[in-house]
Structure 1
Amino acid sequence: MKSLCPCFFLALCLLLIFPFSAFSDPLHVHSITPFFTTNNLQLLDNNGAFLSSINHTFEASFVTQSVQPPRIYFSVIHVSTQSVIWTANRNTPVSNSANVTLTIDGLAITDESKELIWSTPPLSSPVSALLLLETGNLVLVDENNVSLWQSFDYPTDTIVTGQRFPAGKSLVSAASADDFSPANYSLTLNGEDLALQWFGQTYWRLSMDTHSFKFSNKPVSYMEINSDGLYLYGGSGNDSFVISKLRLSSSNFTIARIGYGGRFTISSSNSTENVNLTQELLRPSKFCLVSNICGELGFCTLKQINKINYCTCLEGFQKDSTGCSPIEKSISLPTGCNGSSSDRELESASSVASYMNLGTGFQYIANDFAMPAKRGVDLSVCQDLCSQNCSCLGFFYRYSSGSCYPVENHFGSVYEIGTTEPEPPSAYIKVLEKSSPSPGTATAITNKKHGFPVIGIVFISLSGFGLIVIITALAILWLHRKRTSEKVALSLGRWDSSSSTAFGTTSIPGLPSSFKYEEIEKATDDFSTQIGSGGFGTVYKGTMADETKVAIKKIKNLGVRGKEEFFTELRIIGSIHHVNLVRLKGFCVHRSSRFLVYEFMNRGSLERILFGDGPVLEWRDRCKIVLGTARALTYLHSGCQQKIIHCDIKPENILLSESLQVKVSDFGLSKLLDHETSKLLTTLRGTRGYLAPEWITSSGITDKTDVYSFGMVLLEIVSGKRNCPLLAQNTSIGTSSSSSSLEGPTFFPALAFEMHKERRYSELADPRLEGRVSGEEIEKIVRIALCCLHIVPALRPSMQNVVDMLEGRIPIGNPIVYALNFLLSFGGGQT
C-alpha cells in the first residue's frame, strides 16, 4: 500500500495539472488551483471548457472566430445562449498553441513562443484558486477565500445580472462580430448619467429616455441590472439609494451590451435551456441616431419605399473607406490635431483652409447633447473659433440664436431630419484647398532666393556682415510693400500694366489661382469651342494642362462697371464653397481682358435639358434639381458672411453634372448685402421672363427678388416649357436666351394660377411625362411656386422656408389670391 502512494500522488497531481488528459468527455469544475496550464488544442481534443460554474450556467474557455487567420480569445460564455460576456485578450487574439496558465502570481496568457499576451495585475497575496461563480464572475482567491481579482471589475462590452458597474467605467464596443478588439463606441457611466458616446461625442443619455424614471439628482455611484430593470444608485452597499431606473420585464438572465454598431441593447432569457435572447431595449431606437453609423460625413436616410434606413453621401461627396470625402480633387478634409506633426506641417504648407456649406435638411445628433461653444455671435465669429483650433473639423451654426457648435477631432454622420423637427443649424465643413501655383510663381521665387546669396558674397568682401543685414532688410521691406499694393489693387478693382503682369504670375493668398494668358489660350484651343454667352461675356470649353475640364468665361470690357463686376465675382465666388454652387477654380488678367475659370459641368444647363429635344427629364430628377437650386439660393441669402442676391436665376444659370447634381452659376450680377441691413438695388438687371415686379416699379431689390425668379423657374420645370413662348428668344437684359420648342402665346404662370383655383394640377404637368407623376406631386411644386410669385415681396417665403416646404419640415404654403391676380392682367407684358 505504501508503494502505491507515490504513484497515486503523482496521478492526482497530473489530474490537477492536466485534467483533460484523463477524460474524453468535458470535465466541468468550478475551481482550479495554481500550476495549471491548457490551450485551445487540448480543449478541442476533450470537447469542452476547462472551467464551469456550479450549475453549468457559465463556462471559461477559448472562443474561436472563423476568419482567416482565426482569432482566438479566452472568454467567459453564458452556456445556454452562447453569449460572450467577458474577454481577457480582446486586444490581441492568439493561436491554437497559446496557453492559459494559473500560478500563485495570477492568471496569464502566453503565445507559442512563451511571450506574455495578457495577465492579471500584481496581486496582494498568493493565489489559492481560480473560481467561476454562478453569476459569470471569474475570481482569483487566496487561502482565506478573499477575492484578489475578479473579471467583473474589468468589463469589456457587456454586463450581466448582478454585476455592479461603477461610475467612471466604460463598456467599449468590439470592432465587429468576429473581431473583439476595442472600437470607438462606448457606454460610459459618470457621476450624473449613463451615456452612449463616440470619440467623446454623446448621442444618447438614459436621463433623456422616455422609458426611464428619475428619483434623485444626487451623484451616481454605480449601475446594476437585476431581474426587473436597470438601476443607477447613489452611495454604496446598504447605504445606496435609487437615482433612476429603466424598467424591464422580469427574467432569469439579463445581459446589457454595447454592440459593434454603436447601439446599446438589453436582452433577457427566462430559462436556462432557452437558446434565444429576447431583446428588451434598443438604444438609440432609430438607426440613424448613432453618431458614426454611416462613416465620416455619411448621410443616413430612410428609404420611403420599404422604410429601410440606408447610408449614402451628400451631394459633392463620394464613398471612401472611412465614410465620404469630397469629389472635388482640389480639396481635402483636414486631419485635425490627431494627425501626425508631419501631416499637419504638410497640410499647412501646401493648402489653404476654407469652409464648405453642406446646405440644410439634416441634423447632427451630437448637437442635441452638447452646449454651444458660443451664443449670440455672428457666423464669422464661429468660423474664426474653428479656424484657430487645429482640432476643429467644422461647425454647425444656428442663425436664429447665433449659436455655434464646433465639431472637434472626429466628424461623424449626419441624418435626414424629420418633418416634426425644429429648423436645423447650417453645417460648415473645414476643407483644405490644395495650392497649385502657376509655373511662373515657382520660377520667380527661385530666382529671388538664388540672387541674394551671390550679392551677399560680394558685400561680405566689401563692407562686411552689417551691410548684408541692411540690404536684406531693405529687400524684404520692398517685397512686402509690393505684395501689399498688389492685394489692395485687386481688392479695390484697380490695376495698371505693371500690376497686370504681377497677377499673371503670382498666387495671392485667399484668392483663386491665377493663370497665364497662354495657359487659357491653349486650354480653349484658341477659343474654338463656345458653350454659352451672355451680356457680361462668352463661355468656352477648355482642358487644362492636367487634363481637367473647365469652363472659361471671357468677361466683356464694359468700362468701369465691367471691372467692378469682375472683381466682385472674383472676391465673392472665390471664397464660397457649397455643393450646389459652381466652383471658381481661377482667373486670368491679360491686358484689358479678364477670364474666369470654372469647374466644367458636363450635362450643361437646365435650359438645354428641359427645353431641348433630348430624353425627357423624369419627375424625380426635376425634384432633385428644384431642391438643389433652392439650397444654393438659401446659402447665398443666409449662409454667407454677407448676404448675396443672385439677380439672374433662370434655367440657363442652373448647371448640371452627369449625375444631375445642381450647380448654380453666373454671379456676375450678384451684389453683396449686409445680413442685418439689406441694401437695395435699383438698377435693372436680369432676364425678361424671370424679373420680379419690383424691378419695374424701382421699389428696391431684396433677396425676395430671387425668390420670385425661382418661382418662375419652378413653373417651367413643371411644364417643361417656357413660361411665355413669345419671350423664348432674345429676352435678356444683358443676357441672351436659347430658343424654345414651345408653340402658342400662353403665359403659363397665369394658367397655373387658374388651374390652382380649380385644383386641376395634373393638367399642368409636362405631357412628355405621360402620367408618371401624380397630381399631389404637381400640386406641391405649383403651390410653392405661386407663393414665390406674390406681387408683394414680404408675402413671399424665404428660400429657407422654400427648402423646408420641399423637404416636408413645414406645411406647404397657401397662395394668396389677391397677391397673384396681377398675373392675369400682367400676362407676359412685364416679363
Structure 2
Amino acid sequence: MGSSATIAWSPFCLTSSFNRRFAIILLCCMLFPSALSGPVYSSISPNFTASYYHYIDTSGAFLASRNGSFQAQIINLKPENRSFYLVVVHVSSRAIIWSANRNTPISESSEFRFSRDGMTLFNDQKQPIWSTPHNLAPVTSLQLLESGNLVMLDGANNTLWESFDLPTDVIVAGQRLNVGKSLVASNSDGDLADGICSLVVGNNDAMIRWNGMNYWELSMAPNAVRNAWAVEYMVMNYTGVYLMGKNGAQVVIRIPLHSSDDVVDDPSAFRIMKLESSGVVSVLKLSSGGSSKQEFKTPDDSCRIPSTCWKLGYCTNGGTCQCAPGFHSASSSSEPICVPTDGSLALPGPCNGSQPNITNIKYSALGRDVDYFSNDFSNPMLQNVNLTACKNLCSGNCSCLGFFYSQGSGSCYVIENQIGSMATKMSWSTDKDRLGYIKTIVVGTQIGVKGSKKSDFPVLVAILLPSGVMVIAMVAFLIWLRRRRIKRRWSRSMNSKLGRGSSMSAEEEMDFVSIPGLPVRFVYEELVIATESFKTQIGSGGFGTVYKGTLEDGEDVAVKKITCLGAQGRREFLTEIAVIGKIHHVNLVRLKGFCAHGGQKFLVYEFMDRGSLDATLFRADPVMEWKERYNIALGTARGLAYLHTGCEHKIIHCDVKPENILLHDKSQVKISDFGLSKLLSPEESNLFTTLRGTRGYLAPEWLTSSAISDKTDVYSYGMVLLEIIRGKKNSSPQMRSANSRTDSNRGNSRSSPSSVESGQRPIYFPLFVLDMHEEGRYMGLADPRLMGRVASEEVEKLVRIALCCVQEEPNLRPSMANVVGMLEGVMPLGEPQLESLNFLRFYGRRFTEESRLGGDDEQNELRLYRQPTGTNTSSSYNSLSYMSSQEVSGPR
C-alpha cells in the first residue's frame, strides 16, 4: 500500500478534475519553477495572457505601477473557495481599490487576455465573463499609474479606457466620481459581490441608499458646508471630501477631514474613501501591514443605517438591537427572525402579484417612539387623508409590508418590498407625529398566493363565525361610539372655556389640505394644555412672545405666539410655514409644528434648555470659556451658510443677533427665527428695521437704498463675533486709556476735557477693534474675564474674520461658507480692507457724543444710527429703505 505522500502527489489516483489539475501544476512548479511564474511588468503589450497559476509565485501579480505602489493581481480572498478576482491593490496596505469581475469570480486556471481589442476575462469553459468595450481604437499598451488607475493606451499614449471610470466601492485621492456614477458596497470583506448599499452622486448632493431607498445625504454631516451650485463630480483628498461644480471651479459641498485644531500629519499618506459593507461611508488613512485609521465616517449614528439590525429589528443607543414593539425573536441566531407577539398573526409571504384578501389583514402598531429611515427621504404616498385611507392603500397593495401615518399632516408613507431595521424616533426623525403599522395576516390565510399548491402557514379548517363574536363586535362598537361622544363633548367644553368660535370652515380646512409639506398641525387646545395656558414666558422678540411647553409625550417645546403678521392671509402663512418646516440642519432650531387658530398663529420649536447666547455670554458668572465661544461662532456660521446656500429656497435671516442664537446643554448651537422674515407683509418689512434689539447688528445697506442680500447676514454675524470676543455688547461703553495711540489724526473726534483729565474716555468697540488690529495688538480685545486663558493668535483669527464680515461694501465681505472655511482652518484668513471700514469712525464719533449725553445703552444705540443734518459721509445713512418681503427672504 502506497504512502499518503505518494497518493497525494499522484494525479492518476485523484478523482477530482480540479485536484488533478492542481497536482499537475504543482509538479510543474517543482520540476520547472520558471515555466509558470511570469515577471511583474510595468507595461503590457497586446497578446498577453495570465492566470493565477502563471503568477502563483508573485501572489497573482503581473503588472505594477512605476514605483511599485500598486499592482494588478489575480487573487483569492477566501482560500477555502475557488473565487478569484482581477483587482488593483495598494501594495503596502493590501487594500483593494478596484475589481473587474466582482460579481463573477473566476478560478485559479481561468485566463486574463490582453489584445489590441482590450482586456477580457475567461472562465474555465473559455467563455468571456468580463471585458472592456470592443469599439475602442486599437490598443497598444496596458499600464498601471501611480495613482492606482489602470489604463489602456493607444499608439499616441492617449487614454482609451481607465478603471477610474468604473469604480467599485472605493475612490482614491484625486479620483473623480461624476454625477450619475456610484459606489456599491461589497457583501463583505471576503465577498466582493455587489451589496445592498450604494453611494450615488446626484445634481444636488451625494445620497447613500439601501435597496434603492435613500437613508443619508453627504451634506447632512455635521461639519458639511454647502454653496448654491449644481454638482458635477465628487472628489477626495487629504484635506476633505468635495462635491464640485461649475467645471471644477466651485466647491458645492465641502466636508473637511481636519478641524482647525488638527495637524495634518502626513499629506502624502494613502487615503481612500470607501462605502463599507455596513453602509457607512469612511475616509481611511492606510498604512503598511493592513492597518488603517478612520478619519471620517457618515452617518455617525449606526441607527440611521437600515441594515444595522435585522428585518424589523429596533435600533437604540447607537446600535443596540432587539425586535420592534409588538414582535419577538423566533430564533437564537445572531440575526433573529422577528415574528408577531400575537401568535394568531404572521408576516405575509412572498407577493406574486395577485390581489390580497383584505379581510384577513391586520396591522401591528409599532408605538410612538419608533420611526423608519426612509420616511424623511421620500414623499408620502398619500397626503391629507385619514388613517383608514392609509390602511386601505396598504391592504390593496400586495407589495406593501407596512406604513407610517402622520396624524398632524395626514401623510401616508408606505414600506414596499423590503423592510429594514427601525430606530428610535427621537434620534433622527423630523416628524414626531408619525405612527408605524406593520401588515400581518391571520394564521391559516395567506395574501398573494392564490392558486399556490404550497402555503407557508398551516391551513385552518373553515368554521362558521360564532354568534358570540358578533356580540363582542357589537359591544366594541358601542364602546367606541360612547368614547367618541365624550370626546366631542369635551372639545365643545374646551372651546367654550377658551373662547373658541365655531369649528373650522370648509375653506380653512381646504387650505390645510391643499398645501403640501406642512409640518405637524397642533390643535390650539393642545398648546393651551402644553403651556399651562401660556404660563411660562421664556423670551420675546420682534416676531412675538415665546412660552415653554411640554407635550403629551413629555417632550419640552418652545411655543412662539406670532404677533407681527398684521393682515397677512392664512394661506400665505401656511405656504411659508411649509417652506420653513422643510429646513433641517444641526445648527438650526427645528420647527416641530404650527397652529393657526382664528386670527392667532403659533409656531412650535424644539426646546433649547440653556436659552439664548446673550443670556450666557453677557452675564458675569460663570464666564464662557474661549473654546465654547469658538464652537458657538463656528456653529452659527455653519447654520447661516446652510440657509444661504444649502436650502432648496435661499433664506436670508435678516435678524442675526445673540438673542437668536440658542444653546443646549450638550454644547449644541442653533439659530432660531430663520425664515420668519418671509412671513412679513411689504409694510411690515420696513417696520422690521426698527424692531427693538436689532439695530446694533444692522448692515449699512439697511439704512440706504442698497439691495438686501446674504451679505447683510454676514455683517450681522461679524458684529455678533465681536461680542463673542469681548463678552459684552458692542454698544455698551468701552473705556480706553487716553495715553494709547491718538485717534484724532485718523478721523476720530477728540476727547472731551473731562475724559482726558480722568485719563479714560468711552469708545465704540468695533472701532476699538479696528484700531487695535492696525496696531497688531489683539490680547487687549479678548474678554478680560478669561484671565489669559486664550492665546493672541486665537483672538487675532476671530478679529480678522469679524472685520472682514463688517466691511461697508457687501461685495468685499466673505460668504458664510468661506467664513466656515476660515474658522475650520481649511481656507486662509482674509485681510480686511481698511478703506471699507472707515465708516466705523463715523459710528465711533456718534457713539462718543451720545455717551457723553448720558442715557441707557439702548437709547445710545438708537441715536448712534441717526445722521445729524449736514453730516457728510461716504454713504447716505439718513433714510430707511423700502424692501419687499421678496427682497428680505431671498428667492423662493
> TM-score normalized by structure 2?
0.46
User: Which one has more relative contact order, counting CA pairs under 8 Å at least 6 apart?
Assistant: 2
